[in-house]
Amino acid sequence: MEEQTRNNMVDKSNLAYKFQEVEKEINYTYLPDKLKYTSVSLTEILNNKLRLEANAFNLEAKTAKEKVLNNKYGFINLWSKNGLVDNAFYPGRFKRIYVSKKEGKPFFLPSQMTEIKPKATKFISPKTYKTLNGIEIVKDNLLMSRSGTIGRCTISSKTNIGKLYSDDIIRVGFKNKYDLGYTYAFFQTTDGQLILQTNNYGAVVKHIEPEHLQSIIIPNAPEQLKREIHELVVTSYELRDESNDLIDEAEQILYKELQLKPIEELKTEYFDNSVELRNYTTKLSDLRLRFDGSFHIPIVKQVESALKLNAKELVKLSDLSLTNDIVLPGRFSRTYVDKENGVQFLGGRDLFQLSPTTEKYLSKVVHKKQIEGDLKISKNDILTPSRGTIGKVVLAPEHFSDKAISDNIINIRPTNENVAGYLFSILNSEYGSILIKRQIYGGVVDAMEPTMLSSIDIPLLKNERKQKEINDLVLKANELRYQAHLKEQEAIKKMEEIIDNKTSLHTKR
């Protein structure tokens, strides 16, 4: 009673009291990190080509460099007389003449470089690429993004050799065979990325140039250890390629059973071909309360008719025989924590990488209920972006089951593994992609909702044995992706052990 009386006597108009009340309401989730600072010697500035921006002297990168300098095997400059790199370059800028898929060659963007199975959305005329050198990917190269999100790496493999990539990709060749996988593993470590990131320059868009590789230091491990790491990396990429081949094989069976033509061979008829503007009509019965023109484009009718023609029957995606649920998590205030105390939080861009590299981790404590509910990923769930780049799907491999999805990802949860692979094959095909993209709404940012996806018609095959074969091929491909992930993580772990294995001497070899 006495305490209550004292509280009532507090002057709530007092400025100090008001500030206390406001402070209680502050959400510290998005406040900036604590200020980090370090001293920089004049020698370091001179050695860093007189660069004065803070990022060139990143504190974490400085620690990472010290670890490399002190590893027991010594260190070398990556591109030097005694280094690992033989050459590094990127093609000059060139004018791109885009043509149809039938007339051109697939052209891939830098953002697709690290995707496990990239699909081209643009095609370049032979008049363009046949007059240029260096834009086709060749074997035994490390590929590195040089602008935007710099430093993302992959190696040339069956999936991308011979493909066309833009001038924003640096091609790195090596003196010895085993240096490729070894260097790749180094750049997949946190320390390797930190060292690479300190070679940025640029005010708005950050870039890295081939010559910056000359200042990057890397542990000089024994040849046997380099070989072990290289072979783990190569095995990982071989498993990815084998996985992609199985998915392609499953799709070929699907096309054969449904007698589907390549999308570009479907003939689209317009209302009036005498004008350049594309125009078409739709029946009132087909309107479905959608008044956006993109929902009724003629190619959709062609796709739906082709899928129905030789199918046993069409079943809605929401049918319980196919899916248990189609979930889009609601928006929520996120509490991010460090890796040890959180669950990796995947966005739309992260879905298509073998091992997502996002550094966002949701608090296991604060978001426990959400992580166990709508944010949860289970093996063989089908994930697709609900905002931005829509129309692509991924079948969640086993190592995705310890991660969480953002509110920009729709999770299609198959009824069981007997339909998961087949359902993925349908949605992953060009026909499925068109049916998904049809559901897009929004004027500025493309968006899609679960209720829209649920209305998609899925064709079931007359030959149940073939349908099972497709399903089993896709599930096997998904298992191979998990094995590829394990091999890559083993290589990265070996590299981290090299970096962390210290000696008291600074030895340069």
Q: Is the dihedral of CA 413, 418, 423, 425 positive or negative?
A: positive
Q: Would you call 31 helix, strand, or coil by DSSP?
A: coil
pLDDT at 200: 63
d(CA 360, CA 338): 8
- Residue identified by tokens 């100090």 is 16
Q: Is 260-309+313-460 a CATH 3.30.2130.10 domain?
A: no
Strand partners, 77: 217
Q: What is the CA radius of gyration of the chain?
A: 27
- Residue identified by tokens 């339909």 is 419
CATH of segment(s) 42-237+487-500: 3.90.220.20
Half-sphere exposure of 408 (CA within 13 A, CB side): 14
- Asked if 379 and 418 touch (Cβ cutoff 8 Å), the reply is no
Residues of the chain with CATH 3.90.220.20: 42-237+487-500, 260-309+313-460
| H/E stretch holding 460 | strand 457-460
d(CA 350, CA 438): 23
Distances (CA, A) of 89 to 18, 130, 171, 208, 477: 60, 19, 5, 11, 34
For residue 266, what is the DSSP state? S
d(CA 424, CA 247): 10
Distances (CA, A) of 232 to 151, 227, 394, 487: 21, 9, 24, 6
* Below-50 pLDDT ranges, the chain: 1-10, 15-30, 203-204, 504-509
pLDDT at 147: 83
Distances (CA, A) of 218 to 65, 141, 190: 9, 18, 13
At 432, give phi and psi (nearest 5°).
Answer: -65, -40
Q: Which DSSP string do the residues of 485-508 spell out, in sequence order?
A: HHHHHHHHHHHHHHHH-B-SS--B
